[in-house]
A and B are shown apart, each in its own frame.
Chain A
Amino acid sequence: MLPLSLLKTAQGHPMLVELKNGETYNGHLVNCDTWMNIHLREVICTSKDGDRFWRMPECYIRGNTIKYLRVPDEVIDKVQEETKSRTDCKPPGVGRGRGRGGREDGPGGRPAKGIGRGIDEGGARGQGGSRGGRGGLGGNRGVGRGRG
């Protein structure tokens, strides 16, 4: 299963997103794309140290700034159905190696590289340890804990 299909399936669900800078965003996923750019609604932003909070009606987050996403457990069951119906018409393994490797390595080599690059580009920001941040967030649903 592809991480992006899971993300796509998570549309409409609440989720927690941690950015590379340690900030976290809790909100409902409205939309996402192949770059993992995401659009959240009814968002609560938590600072890296878990000591400041903001409410925002919506926000757009660039995919390459994301560290991880936490999605509701039930979402994974919903993907499987979609994946199955798709693998029915396309046997596994077909999608990947496609492309006449022969002459132009353009089509074969480029798309993959394109993806990797696009995502990584500009990813050189330094960011300190976000250990503290995690303390503050503890677990999505017990976020306040680190503070108490």
Chain B
Amino acid sequence: MSAGPGLESLVDQTISVITNDGRNIVGVLKGFDQATNIILDESHERVYSTKEGVQQLVLGLYIIRGDNISVVGELDEELDSSLDLSKLRAHPLKPVIH
């Protein structure tokens, strides 16, 4: 319920999603439903590592089940494009433990 109106304002915007298994997926929100299932277009996964820069894997068009979503966030495209991902080091996220 609560997710309903919240995501409406993000449609057609680039968003960043953290899934329960600890992945970070960035893409354009094309739609969602009451269960927070979401459609991401032109999506890619950002794989974080402490040893090398951020890897981006192209995923394309994705439907992510709401069950599997931890966080949905707006992405500041300007700020994001100013990041040098190849220099960024970070620990990968651990999966959610139920």
The B1-32 residues at the A interface (CB cut-off 8 A) are 1, 4, 19, 21-23, 30-32
From known contacts A67-B21, A70-B62, A120-B67, infer whether A4 and B95 are also in contact, taking CB-CB under 8 Å: no
Give the interface SS of chain A, mostly helix, strand, loop or mixed: mixed
| Contact assessment for B38 and A3 in the assembled complex, using a CB-CB cutoff below 8 Å | yes
| Contact assessment for A134 and B37 in the assembled complex, using a CB-CB cutoff below 8 Å | no
> How distant is the Cα of A134 from the Cα of B23 in the complex, in angstroms?
10
| Contact assessment for A66 and B39 in the assembled complex, using a CB-CB cutoff below 8 Å | no
A73 on the B face (CB < 8 A)? yes
A55-88 to B contact mask, C-beta < 8 Å, 1/0: 0000000011011111111011000000000000
Number of A interface residues, CB 8 Å? 38
The B43-98 residues at the A interface (CB cut-off 8 A) are 45, 57-68, 92, 94-95, 97-98
A7 on the B face (CB < 8 A)? yes
B98: chain A residues at CB < 8 Å are 124, 126
Which residue in B23, B38, B60, B65 is a CB contact (below 8 Å) of A70? B60
| Contact assessment for B57 and A36 in the assembled complex, using a CB-CB cutoff below 8 Å | no
A30 on the B face (CB < 8 A)? no
| Contact assessment for B57 and A7 in the assembled complex, using a CB-CB cutoff below 8 Å | no
| Contact assessment for B63 and A129 in the assembled complex, using a CB-CB cutoff below 8 Å | no
